[in-house]
């Protein structure tokens, strides 16, 4: 799994830094985006294997962007995992219905997060 490209989309700079550091330490190649527009540009330019998608983004929210990406033949197979601190009853189902391939909640456990992402990728090979 080492070296797989992961895009982390989150409007919170502290979350971006922490997740990028943890995933980088686990051997992944990581880029970040703070908005749907930045995410679209990064996906087009860099072709990540996996996107960790914050649900609450300014402008276009993460679930709307997920629907857009899954509807586009060029990005349909992109693995997208909803990544949110707002874990309310029914939110996971909404994320899956929007086209997300998985669902992770914040805050992360820095000791296990890299392994959880690696396990998710292994399940979807």
- How much is the pTM? 0.95
pLDDT 10s digit of each residue in the chain, 125 long? 568 999 999 999 999 999 999 999 999 999 999 999 999 999 999 999 999 999 999 999 999 999 999 999 999 999 999 998 877 788 899 999 999 999 999 999 999 999 999 999 999 88
Query: Which residue, among 22, 5, 6, has the nearest Cα to 14 in the 3D structure?
Result: 22
In which element (H, E) is residue 97 found?
A: helix 91-98
Residue-range domain boundaries for the chain: 5-123
SS3 6: strand
Distance (Å, rounded) from C-alpha 100 to C-alpha 66?
A: 7
CATH node for 5-123: 3.40.50.2300
Distance (Å, rounded) from C-alpha 76 to C-alpha 99?
A: 9
Distance (Å, rounded) from C-alpha 13 to C-alpha 85?
A: 14
């Amino acid at each position: 799994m080492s070296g797989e490209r992961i895009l982390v989309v989150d409007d919170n700079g502290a979350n971006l830094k922490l997740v990028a550091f943890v995933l980088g330490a686990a051997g992944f190649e990581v880029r970040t985006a703070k908005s749907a527009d930045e995410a679209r540009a990064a996906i087009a330019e860099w072709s990540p294997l996996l996107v960790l998608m914050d649900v609450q983004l300014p402008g276009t929210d993460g679930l709307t962007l997920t629907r857009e990406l899954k509807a586009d033949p060029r990005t349909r197979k992109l693995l997208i995992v909803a990544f949110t601190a707002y874990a309310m009853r029914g939110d996971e189902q909404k994320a899956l219905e929007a086209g997300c391939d998985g669902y992770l909640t914040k805050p992360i456990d820095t000791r296990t997060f890299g392994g959880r992402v690696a396990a998710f990728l292994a399940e979807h090979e």
